[in-house]
Each structure stands twice: as structure tokens, then as C-alpha cells.
Amino acid sequence: MSAPASQEVPCLISAADLQRRVAELAARISADYRDRNLLVVGVLKGAFIFQADLVRALTIPVRCDFVKVSSYGLGTESSGTVRLQLDVSQPVAGADVLIVEDIIDTGTTTSWLIEHIKRQGAASIKLCALLDKPARRRTTVPIAYLGFTIPDHFVVGYGIDYGERYRQLPYVGFIPPGEPQ
């Protein structure tokens, strides 16, 4: 059976709601990190659109960097094993690192990443996540800045993919269970 067109993915969080929430998070981050040494580290690829919108709404100086990790194959289940595919490209030592994630699901990827950044001597580390899916959490991860808590759906859009598709959607949608994908 053929895959549904992107437009047919049902909406969970609208583009307008995403933009409103991103503005609120950016205002809080701008206030909290005033006079600090903010380094925003986005987790590729899923966080790329969220990070782009978030940093453009900040009113303070910021450096941007990226890491790329994989814990998924092409399916919808985390493999549980984290692999670093790309590390930060500038010194983390002494920086106030804000890790920007798309979704915290089991928490495996993020808790591994926090330890990885810690080992590089960051002055502080906090987490900003667009989505929290607490139903499947295996490891506790403190989310300092959270966009939305969502039910246990497989979500796509606003940077988030399913088998590399749907990242371009301006909203967060979900793949209904049992749908042809």
C-alpha cells in the first residue's frame, strides 16, 4: 500500500500553538541566561526546526552547536543503544549548555547526552525539549524548558521524522496506529 501524503497526517499541535509556545520558552531562556555563556546544542536531526525557531526568538547572545546521535533504526522503537555520530565543534568547557531536543521518550538518548556534555566540563547543563512522552520513560531526565506533554503517539513534523519523512510539516502530527505507513 502507498504511503499517505504528508498533508493527510492528523494534527496534534498546530503551527500557531508551536509558535506561541516557542516564544514563551525563548522569553524564559532569555531571562534565565542573561549575562551567562549560553551554548545551545541541538540534537540532530529532529531538533533542527525547533532550535532554529527558538534561537531566533532569544534576546540574548547565544552560540549554536549540534550533536547527532542515533538510538533508532528506521522503525518506531528505540534500540536502547546510543551512538554518537557527530560531536560538538567548539569548546564546551565553561559554557552554560542548553541541550535542545525534539522529544524525550524513554529518556535513554538524553541521559546519555547529558553525561557526555558533563564530561567535557560544561559550567551548567539544562535541557529544553519540545515534546515529552512520559508514558515510555525508562530514565529520569529533568526537563527545565518543556513545550508540550503528549500521549504515547508516534509523532512527526516540525523537524521530526518517520523513516526520514514528514520533517517539513509546519505542525506536529501523528501516525494513527494501524495506518499504512
Interface contacts to ligand IMP, rule CB under 6 A: 46, 71-72, 78, 101-110, 133, 154-155, 160
Binding mask 150-179 for Mg ion (x = CB under 5 A): ------------------------------
Among candidate residues 53, 102, 105, 132, the one labeled active-site is 105
Please confirm, yes or no, whether 102 is among the known catalytic residues: no
If contact means CB under 5 to 8 A according to the sort of partner, which of ligand IMP, Mg ion, none does residue 72 touch? ligand IMP
Are residues 96 and 37 in contact, defined by beta-carbon separation less than 8 angstroms?
yes
What cell was used for 75?
Answer: 522503525
34 φ, ψ to 5°? Answer: -60, 135
100 φ, ψ to 5°? Answer: -110, 115
Q: State the minimum distance, in angstroms, from the CB of residue 1 to Mg ion.
A: 28
**What order do you get walking across the sheet with 172-175 strand by strand?**
11-13, 172-175, 154-156
Neighbours of 27 (CB within 10 A): 13
Q: State the minimum distance, in angstroms, from the CB of residue 114 to ligand IMP.
A: 12
107 binds Mg ion, rule: CB under 5 A? no
Among the listed residues 94, 21, 92, the one whose alpha carbon sits nearest the alpha carbon of residue 57? 21
Which residue number places its CB atom closest to Mg ion?
A: 46
Q: State the minimum distance, in angstroms, from the CB of residue 152 to ligand IMP.
A: 9
Question: Taking the CA of residue 81 as centre, how many other CA atoms within 13 Å lie in the half-sphere pointing to its CB?
Answer: 3
In angstroms, the CA 59 to CA 48 distance is 19
Q: Of 121 and 170, which has the nearer Cβ to ligand IMP? A: 170
Q: Of 59 and 149, which has the nearer Cβ to Mg ion? A: 149
- Give SS3 for 128: strand
102 binds Mg ion, rule: CB under 5 A? yes
Q: For Mg ion, which residue of 46, 107, 147, 157 counts as binding (CB under 5 A)? A: 46
Cite the active site residues. 105
